[in-house]
């Protein structure tokens, strides 16, 4: 009898993620890639949309674009950190901007990871899985 090997479990398998990205194509790519890696993903196109979702769901990780019209990823994270229920939500910043000071600003705002667009999907999935695991322990 042939022994079947178990399929490998990816780093973000069964992790719930809220993706906040105002560009449709970028949002669709992030959602698709994370879902293909086994994550459960909810997507929002704005800070207002993300905050609406956060009233009803508790994702394990937040992935947010920094530059969005109106309110940006920094203001989103400020509200998340001020919330007693969400203050410890792990967050990953994504941006197409290349200014070096943006990294230190993102870290100062409370993002645990920072990724430049185009995002390396393997790195994103590993970061999502790591942050979700760290939060559990």
Main-chain phi, psi angles of 79, to 5 degrees: -70, -40
User: How big is the CA angle at 91 (ends 86 and 96), to the nearest 5 degrees?
Assistant: 140
Confidence of residue 79 (pLDDT cuts 50, 70, 90): very high
Dmax (CA) for the chain in angstroms is 61
- Tell me the domains of the chain and their CATH numbers: 16-136 (3.40.50.2300)
Query: Each residue of 5-32: pLDDT tens digit?
Result: 434 557 899 999 999 999 999 999 999 9
User: How big is the CA angle at 99 (ends 47 and 61), to the nearest 5 degrees?
Assistant: 40
Confidence of residue 77 (pLDDT cuts 50, 70, 90): very high
The pTM of the full predicted model, rounded to 2 decimals, is: 0.91
């Amino acid at each position: 009898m042939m022994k079947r090997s178990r399929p490998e479990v990816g780093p973000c398998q069964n992790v719930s993620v809220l993706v906040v990205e105002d560009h449709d194509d970028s949002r669709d790519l992030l959602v698709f890639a994370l879902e293909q890696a086994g994550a459960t993903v909810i997507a929002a196109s704005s800070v207002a949309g993300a905050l609406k979702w956060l009233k009803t769901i508790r994702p394990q990780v937040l992935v947010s674009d920094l530059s969005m019209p109106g309110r940006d990823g920094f203001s989103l994270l400020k509200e998340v950190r001020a919330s007693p229920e969400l203050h410890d939500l792990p967050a990953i910043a994504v941006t197409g901007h290349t200014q070096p000071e943006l990294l230190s600003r993102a870290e100062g705002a409370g993002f645990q990871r920072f990724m430049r667009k185009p995002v390396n999907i393997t790195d994103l999935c590993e970061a999502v899985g790591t942050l979700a695991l760290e939060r559990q322990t």
